[in-house]
Structure formats: C-alpha cells, structure tokens
Structure 1
Amino acid sequence: MKNSGREFIFSISMLAASSAIPIKAFSFDKEKKLKVALVGTGIRGITFWGKRLVDEYSEILEFVGLSDINPSRLEYGKQYIGVSCPTFTSFKEMVTTSEPDLIIVTTKDSTHHEFIIKGPEMGCDVLTEKPMTIDEVKCQQILDAERVSSKNLIVGFNYRWKPYDTKIKELLSKKAIGDLVSVDFNWYLNTYHGASYFRRWHGEMESSGSLWVHKATHHFDLLNWWINSEPNEVFAYGDLEFYGKNGPYRGDNCRSCDHKNVCDFYWDIHKDEFAKKLYVDHEHEDGYIRDNCLFREDINIYDKMSAQVKYTDNTILNYSLTTYSPFEGWRVSFNGTKGRIDAWMDIPYFEKTTTNEAEKHASEMTQNSEANTSFKPIVVHKLWKEFETVYVDMEKSGHGGGDKRLQDKIFLHPEVPDPYGRMAGVRDGAMAILIGIAARKSIQSGKPMKISELTDLKPLVKRA
C-alpha cells in the first residue's frame, strides 16, 4: 500500500524511548494526488480537516473515504465537505477499500489510539487531532505500536503556528531574557466556550480524560515548545464546583428543560442552523445529544484546575485553567536570568475590543481566509532597563492564523526548513498529554507525580 498513491513520509525515524525525534518536513510524490481518508465527522473533522482541505488543496489531494459510527451524520458530513467519495461505518472496511495514504483522526478523544494504531498496521500514515490519547495506558500502546511500524504520526498542534506564539518562541530562543527560570500561565474559558465542553462528552472523564487532557494539552504543548525542555514532575489541585451537580437547575437537555426561562446558560440549539444539521438531525442514530444539561449528575471532570510542573532543566511552571470566566483569554509571564517577558491575548482590561464574548469562540473557530489582522503587544523587560514593547501582526481567523499555517506547511511547503521546530510528532504528543494525566493522578492521590512513572519515555533536559 505504501507505493499505491502519493508518498507521504515524515522525516522521522522510529521513536526511541530515550531520545527526542525531530520533525522536519513531509515528503511525498508530487506527481500524484495524496489519498486522504477521514475518520470522525464532527465539527473539527468536517470543517478544518474536511471542507478547508477541499477548498484550499484539491489540486494536490483527494478524499477517498469518510468514516463515522453515525451513518446519517456521515452523509451530512460528506455533503458539507463537498466530496463524492464513499462513506463507511466500518473503519477497517474504509481503509481496505479506499487504500488511503493518510488517515486523519478526528473522533472522540478516547478512541484516537484505536485509529493511530490500526492505521499504520494497515499501511497508512496518520495525522491526529489533539489530544493524542487520554491516559497513560493508551499512550504506551501508541508508543509500542509506533516503534515497530514503518509509518508515522503527526499531532495537529495548531497553536505553535500562530504568529504571536511563534514570536514568543523566537524571543526565548534568542535569550532575550537570558536563561529561563520560571513561567506563569493562566488560561480563561468564558461562560460560552467553557460551558460548551460540559454540554458534550468532554464532561465525562472516560471520554475526554478531563480538560486537563482535552483542552490543556494545547497549552502544555505550547509550554514544552516554548521552554524547550520536558516535564519531570507535576503536582496539581482541581475540583468540580460550578458545573455538574453544583448547578441550581437541572434538566435532560436545554431544548426540553423546564428552567429555560431562568437559566443563564440556556442555549436554543435549533437557532444554530449548523449545530442542528450536524447534531440534532442525527442523534436518533447514536443518542449523542449536543445540548446536554450543564448540571447533569454524570459530569465528573474538573472545572477549576491548577498545577505546578518542574521541568528537567529546572524551569518551574505555574499553570491554571478556569472554565467559567466572564471573558475568554490568556496571559503568560516568563522570568529569566536577564529579565522578563509578558504576553497575553484577549484580556479585555488590556485592550479595546468590539467582539463580545458570545461571538469570540465562533470567530476563533472560523476558517475565514480574509486577513482581518491586528497588532498585539509582547512586553520585554530586561534587568536595569526600561521595558520594550514588540508588536506582532496577528490574524483573527482560524486560531490566530495557526490553522492556515499548519496546513500550508503540511501540504504546500513540506520541504521548507522551519527554524522554530513547529511540527509535532509522537513524543511531543505524549509529553503534552502526560502533564495532564499526571495532574489528574496528582489530584486523586494528593502527591506529586513523576512523568517517568507513567510510560517508558524518560524526560529529556532539552528538546531536539
């Protein structure tokens, strides 16, 4: 199957447990279109990894199969993406029949490992959405399978590709504040975006591994990349104090709830045409309800989270995630031997904005290719000197321009060297989720957790 279509091979050798593998570029036969198959036709699958690929890269790739356990949502996904390829409720049948070069995995987090492992066994490279998986057992299974496979895996960490985040990496790499000593990182989810996780399967530990894994994986990957080291030990606190059993009202779901006139979180899914067509119209097939009650009893993840992470180079990270903030944004501070860097995004008290909180998440998730740029500051303050402000040209669409740049690198410019090392592979995916897994276990045990105790990966002092 390797030579049946467009050659799609990462510049990555087999993963060694004690060494970092640099991800350099993709390389494939440009005389033939890359044959792509997608498993999981939820919102991220059919938009970013579906319709956008068709709209932007149809000259160099083609979809040869779509797979999902929900047959009617699968047909809607096919229509939305705009392809004519066959659809399958069986992943194995799809791969056997369509013989793809690349499988893109956008299923429920708890099932990612199944396709990450099965894909290479059936002769395909794999690109997976974050997180790579949700616990240390599945992570080890992926590591073991990758070591005996000639195929390869990339994890779609798009935040690395935002111009703003890349500028932070550049400043740190150039030792603008000397050697890094500590980092303070705070992420705030508002009562629109944050609440959305608790309506869905993300609110159940067995499906998402909690937001320590599903959401914070994004942040931990950024931090590992910025710090240029690997996590060694994690101590964390967390609890469920706002959503779930803590709510003042409770119903089956928003549309049938008796409290819709008094609940601040009421959401009429029928007024969201896209959500209705993607989810409501197909829930009879698998029972997946998209507008579940935020205060249902079976929510068992954390809604407030705080952790300390010690890296192997002795950098200390202080991290927090709030899921019911009045605004959505983040801020980070880097302390070094020669100064400090402060950066932030969407903190309303620091900048003028015309976008309200209800619109913010929808704006971030759009794949609008229009420039829609603005300038965002990064403050560099060296010891004994006045601070300097660096302004970064920032895009609004597609995760701050990160989505577009990630896909352009994968499909258009694989051969162009990247001085920032933004492509993420198996080890990157593992180290990002292992911080969240360790945090979860630390909360449960009340003790610090060593990263090396979770899998056979041994943390390195410096990333390759």
Structure 2
Amino acid sequence: MKIDRRKFLTSISMLAATTAFPVNAFEFGSSKKLKIALIGTGIRGTSFWGKRLVDEYSDILEFVGLCDSNPGRLAYGKTYIGTSCPTFTDFEKMVKTTKPDLMIVTTKDSTHHEFIIKGLEMGCDVLTEKPLTTDESKCQAILDAEKKSNKNLIVGFNYRWSPYATKIKELLVNKSIGKLVSVDFHWYLNTFHGASYFRRWHGLMNGGGSLWVHKATHHFDLLNWWINSEPNEVFAYGDLEFYGKNGPFRGTNCRNCEHAPKCDFHWDITKDERSMALYANNEQYDGYIRDNCLFREEIDIYDKMSAQVKYTNNTILNYSLTTYSPFEGWRVAFNGTEGRIEAWQDIPYNKANTISEVEKHTKEMEQTNIEELQYEPMILHKLWSEHETIQVEMEKTGHGGGDKRLHDKIFRNPEIADPFGRTAGVRDGAMSILIGIAARRSIEKGTPIRISDLTDLVPKTERN
C-alpha cells in the first residue's frame, strides 16, 4: 500500500496542535517521496527514526540528510540506517542544501529547542523525540516559534499507541467506572535500565532536565491523555540518595575501573557491539563516555521522585518513579464514582517471566514484528459487583507495539480517523514536560507550583 506525499503532509498537520494547513499549499506530484532530514544520530535517531523508516517506508520517503556534531557517530549512523544521503556537521547547511520537507530532531534533550526553532524558521515541518524540551523558558521559546511559523510541530509520543494503553483509554471513554476521581501511577526502573540513565548525559540536570522530564514525560503524556484533562498544580518530593555521590566507590568508566570485580553495577560495554561502534569508537571527537561511572560526583538529578498533581477537572494524580527497583514495570489504578480499573505491566510475581531484567529494556525497544500473540490482563471492578478480568491482545516489542502503530498512523494510514485521539502535538508535548518541570520547581521551593505560572499556556478542563 502506498500513500502519496501530499497525504503524508496532511497527516503531519493532523498530528500537530495547530489548525491543519490546506493540502493545496503544497505544489508537488504524488510520485515524489517525502524528503526527511535527521539531526542527532544517537541510539534512538539511528534506530526508530532512522533504520526503521528506511526498512518499512522507503516507498514513500527518503532521507536527504543526516547531521550530528560527532563525525564518527555520524558515519556509523549512515551505515546503520542504510541510507546513501549526504552527511553534515552543520545543521543550517544541511537544511539549506537538502531542503527537507520534514526535520526529525533526536539530539540531546537540552538542545531540542535549538533545532526545533531553527527548523521551523527555515521552513520545515518538525518532528521531535520526547521530551519536547527541558525547562519552561525553552518551552515558551518553542511555543512562540511555532505560533510565528506556518509549519507544524509533532512530538513523537508512542506509548499511547500500545494496545494495552489504548484499552485503558477505551474503558475510561466509555465511563466504565463512572466519573474519574483519582489515579495512582507508579513506575519502576530496574537496576539495569534505571542505572543506565545515571551513566549517560541524562544524569546531569543540564542535559535531560532530570528523569522528571526525560523519562516521566512518557508517563505524564499517558496520564493527561487517559484523564482527558490538563494539569493545574503540582507538589513534589525528590532526592538523590542511591546513585552519584552516594556510591561506595567510583572510577573513570566501567571499562577501566579497578572496582569492577566488586561493583554490582559493572557494565562491560565491550560486549555490546552496537554501543562500541556508536559511542566508544567515537569518543575522541567529543569526549562523550557511554559507560561512565554512575557513582560520579557530578550527577545532580533525582533518583527517587513522588508527586501529587491536581487536574483542572479536579482529578487527583499520585505519581512515583523509582530508579533502582529489583524489577522493571508499572502499576496504575483509576478510581471512579462507579468502580475502579487496575492495570500493570511486567510485575514479575504476577506472571511467569521468560525475559531477564537485563534483557527487558532491550526487548521492549526492539522493532521486530512478533508472530505469536500475547495477552495481558487488567481488572475492571464495578461497585457492588464482582471484578472482571479483561485480557488485552498485545506484543512486547517497540514500546508495547506502540512504535509501529505510531509510524503506521503517520506514514500509512493518516486518513483513518482515530476514536481515541492518540495523535500528539506541541501542546501535548508542553503539558507533559510542564508537570515534570513544575515538580522540579516544587522540590526546589518546597511549595506547590501552578502550571499556568510556567508559560503562557492556560490549562484546559478537557483536552480537545
């Protein structure tokens, strides 16, 4: 099945928060492919927004440029993605030379705003990886640039598209538990995946804005979508008490650490072929160490986090994120005037796991298609009635099947209406990060933070 370039660009406008631009604004034939340029050739850029697009959608799109500040990583990324397009270390030169229709931003979180704004100003539609950006001033700058531009900005949220998350939305839309009153949401990162954030640039506040933003933007976007409202006020606690300066010892990096034999967190990057090719072999260009010590003194983000969020529709959210759990998974419960929904993923004692905790995140991120169907339960319990167990058909790759469904919506089936409103634009991206930013500010000040005090966005009672 093919979709012409004109329909693709219509889908971009559908995904954006602004009013859809008229399709006749584009003067090109349906035989032409959409021209895509990618800035940031790290792990996510080269895989989900790189190789997967080449493998699955080459009939309707083509990469015209790749850009990264690290020339070694850029060369590897080109080979891994499987494209013959030119490469650049200068972003503006790439845009001027290749004139892409769509710019995809997958750089370090703290630089997203720079390339989003430049891309919009230079006449590109822009798709950015989550999070939108890392603080309120950068967020406001993006909002201002998007308003001035006649182009569109999409945020690549994928968890909404997993069948399991969609089933929860269906139950809530159908008022299965009456009026929603409160939500309890708890996410557990294990000592492999959770620890990995503290090895990387994510462990520094000025890189990823803390896991309140980089990781929790996924969770807050899901919650905003499920609750069908926008956050009004946030009060939070957080601390760094396990990683960083709290460690019993520290070294330069895992490869050269004298403490490796006695460190439970030792990670041998030399056994990871892709990490070696993408990162370790290119350290000489920018000094970025992928297997950094997670007990280094400079780490300044939180490793335990808890927040209460009040929504404009009066729903109360209780949220927590743990970064050193023995297992990786999550739980959510929705309390309504007529009952309760309980849902969970990857809680090991609720099912027989066949994947180790070390492999779990890798399997989740894989983009391979699984032939064998799997089923995951959730509980619907109405007042005065016996509970009902609902089995949801799903798969375990690509964020629970969300990755491929998001791509298919954008690239293959943009004209098909979505009754669950899973598309996400700039406002969705902003509202998800503003909860995390407000949580950071709340911890710093010891007071509740109002979302409306952070940018010029006024929270709505219901999402459109």
TM, length-normalised to structure 1: 0.96
Q: 1:152 to 1:227 in 2, by over 3 A?
A: same
Which whole-Å CA distance do the structure 1 matches of 2:96 and 2:227 have between them? 42
- Contact 2:236–2:448 at 8 Å: present in 1 too? yes
Which whole-Å CA distance do the structure 2 matches of 1:100 and 1:24 have between them? 18
Which residue matches 1:62?
Answer: 62
- Contact 2:13–2:152 at 8 Å: present in 1 too? no
Which whole-Å CA distance do the structure 2 matches of 1:450 and 1:345 have between them? 31
- Contact 1:210–1:302 at 8 Å: present in 2 too? yes
Q: 1:298 to 1:427 in 2, by over 3 A?
A: same
Which whole-Å CA distance do the structure 1 matches of 2:72 and 2:344 have between them? 42
Which residue matches 2:9?
Answer: 8
Matched, 1:134 2:130: no
Matched, 1:436 2:426: no
Which residue matches 2:458?
Answer: 458
- Contact 2:15–2:424 at 8 Å: present in 1 too? no
Aligned-partner residue type, residue 400 of structure 2: G
1:225-252 per-position Cα deviation (integer Å, ceiling 9, x unaligned): 0000000000000000000000011001
Which whole-Å CA distance do the structure 1 matches of 2:414 and 2:45 have between them? 22
- State the superposition RMSD in angstroms: 1.7
Which residue matches 2:310?
Answer: 310
Gaps of 5+ in 2: none
1:321-362 per-position Cα deviation (integer Å, ceiling 9, x unaligned): 000000000000000000000000000111111111011011
Tell me, what secondary structure is at the counterpart of 1:398?
Answer: coil
Aligned-partner residue type, residue 370 of structure 1: I
Aligned-partner residue type, residue 189 of structure 2: L
Which whole-Å CA distance do the structure 2 matches of 1:123 and 1:146 have between them? 11
1:356-383 per-position Cα deviation (integer Å, ceiling 9, x unaligned): 1011011011111223431001100000
- Contact 2:16–2:426 at 8 Å: present in 1 too? no
Q: Count matched residues.
A: 455
Aligned-partner residue type, residue 38 of structure 1: L
Which whole-Å CA distance do the structure 2 matches of 1:248 and 1:446 have between them? 30
Give how far 1:11 is off: 3.4
Which residue matches 1:344?
Answer: 344
Matched, 1:280 2:295: no
Matched, 1:195 2:195: yes
Aligned-partner residue type, residue 11 of structure 1: S
Which whole-Å CA distance do the structure 2 matches of 1:14 and 1:51 have between them? 24
Give how far 1:31 is off: 2.7
Which whole-Å CA distance do the structure 2 matches of 1:249 and 1:386 have between them? 53
Give how far 1:120 is off: 1.3
Which whole-Å CA distance do the structure 1 matches of 2:31 and 2:341 have between them? 46
Give how far 1:25 is off: 12
Give how far 1:123 is off: 0.8
Give how far 1:26 is off: 9.6
Matched, 1:166 2:171: no
- Contact 1:25–1:414 at 8 Å: present in 2 too? no
- Contact 2:16–2:153 at 8 Å: present in 1 too? no
Tell me, what secondary structure is at the counterpart of 2:320?
Answer: strand
The range that moved more, 431-440 or 394-403, is 394-403
TM, length-normalised to structure 2: 0.96
Give how far 1:179 is off: 0.5
Which residue matches 2:377?
Answer: 377
Aligned-partner residue type, residue 139 of structure 1: C
Give how far 1:108 is off: 0.1
- Contact 2:307–2:320 at 8 Å: present in 1 too? yes
Which residue matches 1:400?
Answer: 400
Which whole-Å CA distance do the structure 2 matches of 1:116 and 1:103 have between them? 8
Which residue matches 2:256?
Answer: 256
Give how far 1:24 is off: 12
Which residue matches 2:179?
Answer: 179
Identity of aligned residues (%): 71
1:256-278 per-position Cα deviation (integer Å, ceiling 9, x unaligned): 11100000000110011111001
Matched, 1:235 2:240: no
Q: 1:13 to 1:147 in 2, by over 3 A?
A: farther
Tell me, what secondary structure is at the counterpart of 1:255?
Answer: helix
Which whole-Å CA distance do the structure 2 matches of 1:121 and 1:30 have between them? 26
Tell me, what secondary structure is at the counterpart of 2:150?
Answer: coil
Which residue matches 1:35?
Answer: 35
Aligned-partner residue type, residue 219 of structure 2: H
Which whole-Å CA distance do the structure 1 matches of 2:280 and 2:20 have between them? 40
Q: 1:13 to 1:258 in 2, by over 3 A?
A: closer
1:413-463 per-position Cα deviation (integer Å, ceiling 9, x unaligned): 111111111110010000000000000000000000000000000000000
- Contact 2:191–2:323 at 8 Å: present in 1 too? yes
1:277-335 per-position Cα deviation (integer Å, ceiling 9, x unaligned): 01001010000000000000000000000000000000000000000000000000000
Which residue matches 1:418?
Answer: 418
> Which runs of structure 1 show a deviation greater than 4 angstroms over 4 or more consecutive aligned residues?
12-15, 21-29
Q: 1:394 to 1:64 in 2, by over 3 A?
A: same
Tell me, what secondary structure is at the counterpart of 2:350?
Answer: coil
Aligned-partner residue type, residue 290 of structure 2: R
Give how far 1:396 is off: 1.1
Which whole-Å CA distance do the structure 1 matches of 2:64 and 2:280 have between them? 27
Which residue matches 1:290?
Answer: 290
Which whole-Å CA distance do the structure 1 matches of 2:189 and 2:247 have between them? 18
Which residue matches 1:18?
Answer: none
Aligned-partner residue type, residue 8 of structure 1: L
- Contact 1:184–1:332 at 8 Å: present in 2 too? yes
Which whole-Å CA distance do the structure 1 matches of 2:75 and 2:14 have between them? 36
Which whole-Å CA distance do the structure 2 matches of 1:65 and 1:294 have between them? 34
Aligned-partner residue type, residue 9 of structure 2: F
Which whole-Å CA distance do the structure 2 matches of 1:196 and 1:429 have between them? 24
1:37-59 per-position Cα deviation (integer Å, ceiling 9, x unaligned): 00000000000000000000000
Aligned positions of 1:219-234 closer than 5 A: 219-234=219-234
Which residue matches 2:353?
Answer: 353
Aligned-partner residue type, residue 103 of structure 2: I
Q: 1:401 to 1:33 in 2, by over 3 A?
A: same
- Contact 1:372–1:397 at 8 Å: present in 2 too? no
Which residue matches 1:115?
Answer: 115
